[in-house]
């Protein structure tokens, strides 16, 4: 039962109790009044005796005065009963109001606990079917969201500290060795400090990009651009890298559709997927970029012939700093944030990312972007 209906019934109950009490007492009180009036009239001396002056009623105590007194007594009786009924009904209403307010006070305490930092606190009102239950469910969802955000923030700080600790340690050790005379200030040692400093700068810049995207504050310079040149530019940028790694990089046909995107940001997302595919594909392997229309969106997929991703890792490959291979370090110069950035950029454009893989069967990463035009050409073959 909704809270509005319960309050309406409570007020109606107060009025009903009062009305019933008055309806039950009023006939009895009025009947008593008429009985007293009739008794008074029958005891009244005859009109003749009254005219002779013998036994006449005292001044001011005639039938009219007696009737007025009986009427007043009857009215007072009815009013007293009505007031008594109203008091009883009000007490019942106060009891009902206390029962209604009790979960709200409990929710107030829960809100104060969450504000004090107890993000695991829940209202326990979600099972109710009224407005209070709806409020409780909204509160629980809010508290759960705050808890997830806090856990994400803590995990981010821990991961960032872990990722920055290694280059900082290398810089400190190399600089200390040069300062103590253990190393000569040769170019190779200075290059080590420079490379680690650049790696730290990339980590900080990538974290900033993800933070802006997740907060909805990532600046996008949108422009209408055809999908084919966008994909071709990303593939061309990694041809030399793939050739150096002994990996064949190729792209299939791209649907002639128009996108309203930030060219550089989408290129950054595609680059993260291509970089990931090339790094995990052994020499002599292949990386294929395919495109097609899926549910009114352009899907760009990067498929490699690497070792694939274990099923337990599929849900986390787009997390910040997540490594399916825990033994892999940052010696390749990567920050471990590329796929997380790809997801953040896709979401900022109203799109999404995904992955499908099986151990030993390669991996297929894709990004989906909404089309700029409502009317799109007929989709290509579904086996792209």
* 102 occurs within a structural domain: yes
Alpha-carbon 87 to chain mean position = 46
Last residue of a domain, one of 173, 203, 233: 203
Find all residues with CB under 8 Å of 131, minimum gap 6, and list them: 2, 3, 4
Residues 194 and 230 in one domain: no
How far out from the chain centre does Cα 199 lie? 34
Domain membership of residue 278 (yes or no) is: yes
Whether 226 and 196 have beta carbons less than 8 Å apart is answered as no
State the pLDDT at residue 329. 45
Tell me, yes or no, whether 141 and 84 share the same domain.
Answer: no
User: Residue 262, Cα to own-chain centre: how many angstroms?
Assistant: 27
- How many domains is the chain partitioned into structurally? 3
Distance separating alpha carbons of residues 325 and 99, to the nearest angstrom: 56
* Residue 382 belongs to a domain: no
Q: What is the pLDDT of residue 48?
A: 42
Q: Residues 78, 26: contact at Cβ < 8 Å? A: yes
Find residue 290's DSSP bridge partners: 301
Domain at 279, CATH number: 3.30.565.10
**Last residue of some domain: 118, 144, 171?**
118
Q: Domain check: are 281 and 341 in the same one?
A: yes
Token duo for residue 125? 């009102």
Could you tell me if 319 and 282 lie in one domain? yes
Q: Are residues 80 and 184 in the same domain?
A: no
How many Å apart are CA 372 and CA 379, to the nearest integer? 15
CA 169, 173, 177 angle in degrees (round to 5)? Answer: 175
Same domain, 152 and 66: no
Gap between the Cα atoms of 290 and 287, Å rounded:
10
pLDDT at site 328: 43
Pair 235, 362 in one domain: yes
Q: Choose one of 152, 168, 203: the last residue of a domain.
A: 203
Q: What is the pLDDT of residue 61?
A: 55
pLDDT at 238: 92
SS3 assignment for the chain:
CCHHHHHHHHHHHHHHHHHHHHHHHHHHHHHHHHHHHHHHHHCCCCHHHHHHCCCCCCCCCCHHHHHHHHHHHHHHHHHHHHHHHHHHHHHHHHHHHHHHHHHHHHHHHHHHHHHCCCCCCCCCCCCCCCHHHHHHHHHHHHHHHHHHHHHHHHHHHHHHHHHHHHHHHHHHHHHHHHHCCCCCCCHHHHHHHHHHHHHHHHHHHHHHHHHHHHCCCCCCCEEEEEHHHHHHHHHHHCHHHHHHCCCEEEECCCCCCEEEEEHHHHHHHHHHHHHHHHHCCCCCCEEEEEEEEECCEEEEEEEECCCCCCHHHHHHCCCCCCCCCCCCCCCCCCCCCHHHHHHHHHHHCCCEEEEEECCCCCEEEEEEEECCCCCCCCCCCCCC
Same domain, 30 and 72: yes
CB 262 within 8 A of CB 349: yes
Put the strands of the sheet holding 248-251 in their side by side order. Answer: 248-251, 286-294, 297-304, 363-370, 352-357
Whether residues 156 and 291 fall in one domain: no
- Find the CATH number of the domain harbouring 150: 1.10.287.130
Residue 298: which domain range?
A: 223-370
Does 97 map to a domain? yes
Measured CA to CA, the distance from residue 133 to residue 272 in angstroms comes to 45
Residues 187 and 230 in one domain: no
- Residue from 342, 254, 242 nearest 287 by CA: 242
Residue with tokens 């649907």: 255
pLDDT tens per residue across all 384 residues of the chain = 555 666 667 667 767 767 776 666 666 666 666 666 666 656 555 444 444 454 444 544 566 666 677 667 777 777 777 777 777 777 777 777 777 778 888 888 888 988 888 888 888 888 887 778 888 899 889 988 888 878 877 777 777 777 778 788 888 998 999 888 888 888 888 888 888 888 888 778 877 887 777 777 778 899 999 999 999 999 999 999 899 999 999 999 999 999 999 999 999 899 999 999 999 899 999 999 999 998 889 999 999 998 888 888 888 888 777 665 544 444 444 566 888 889 989 999 999 999 998 666 789 999 999 998 644 444 444 445
227 with 352, same domain?
yes
* pTM of the predicted protein model: 0.57
Rounded distance between C-alpha atoms, residue 311 and residue 309, angstroms: 6
User: For residue 377, is it within any domain?
Assistant: no
Distance (Å, whole) CA 236 – CA 49? 132
Report if residue 238 sits inside a domain.
Answer: yes
User: Is there a domain that residue 210 lies in?
Assistant: no
Q: Is residue 170 in a domain?
A: yes
14 and 63 inside one domain: yes
């Amino acid at each position: 039962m909704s809270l509005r209906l319960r309050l309406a019934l409570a007020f109606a109950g107060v009025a009903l109790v009062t009305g019933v009490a008055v309806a039950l007492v009023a006939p009895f009180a009025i009947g008593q009044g008429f009985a007293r009036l009739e008794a008074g009239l029958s005891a009244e001396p005859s009109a003749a005796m009254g005219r002779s002056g013998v036994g006449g009623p005292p001044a001011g105590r005639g039938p009219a005065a007696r009737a007025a007194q009986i009427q007043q007594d009857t009215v007072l009786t009815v009013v007293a009963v009505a007031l008594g009924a109203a008091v009883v009904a009000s007490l019942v209403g106060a009891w009902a109001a206390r029962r209604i307010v009790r979960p709200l006070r409990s929710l107030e305490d829960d809100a104060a606990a969450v504000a004090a930092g107890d993000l695991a606190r829940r209202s326990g009102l979600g099972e109710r079917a009224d407005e209070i239950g709806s409020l409780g469910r909204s509160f629980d969802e809010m508290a759960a969201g705050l808890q997830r955000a806090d856990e994400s923030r803590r995990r981010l700080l821990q991961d960032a500290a872990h990722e920055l600790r290694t280059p900082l340690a290398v810089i400190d050790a190399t600089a200390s060795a040069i300062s103590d005379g253990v190393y000569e200030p040769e170019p190779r040692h200075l290059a080590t400090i420079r490379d680690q400093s650049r790696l730290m700068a990339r980590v900080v810049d990538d974290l900033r990009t993800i933070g802006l995207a997740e907060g909805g504050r990532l600046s996008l310079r949108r422009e209408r651009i055809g999908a084919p040149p966008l994909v071709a530019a990303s593939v061309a940028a990694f041809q030399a890298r793939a050739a150096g790694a002994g990996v064949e990089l190729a792209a299939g046909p791209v649907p002639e559709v128009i996108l309203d995107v930030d060219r550089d940001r989408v290129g950054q997302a595609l680059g993260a997927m291509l970089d990931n595919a090339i790094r995990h594909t052994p020499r002599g392997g292949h990386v294929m970029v395919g495109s097609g229309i899926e549910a009114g969106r352009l899907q760009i997929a990067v498929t490699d012939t690497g070792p694939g991703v274990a099923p337990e890792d599929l849900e986390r490959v787009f997390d910040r700093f997540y490594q399916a291979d825990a033994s892999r370090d940052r010696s390749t110069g990567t920050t471990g944030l590329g796929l997380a950035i790809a997801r953040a950029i896709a979401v900022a454009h109203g799109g999404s990312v995904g992955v499908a893989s099986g151990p030993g069967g390669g991996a297929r990463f894709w990004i989906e972007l909404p089309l700029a035009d409502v009317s799109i050409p007929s989709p290509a073959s579904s086996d792209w």
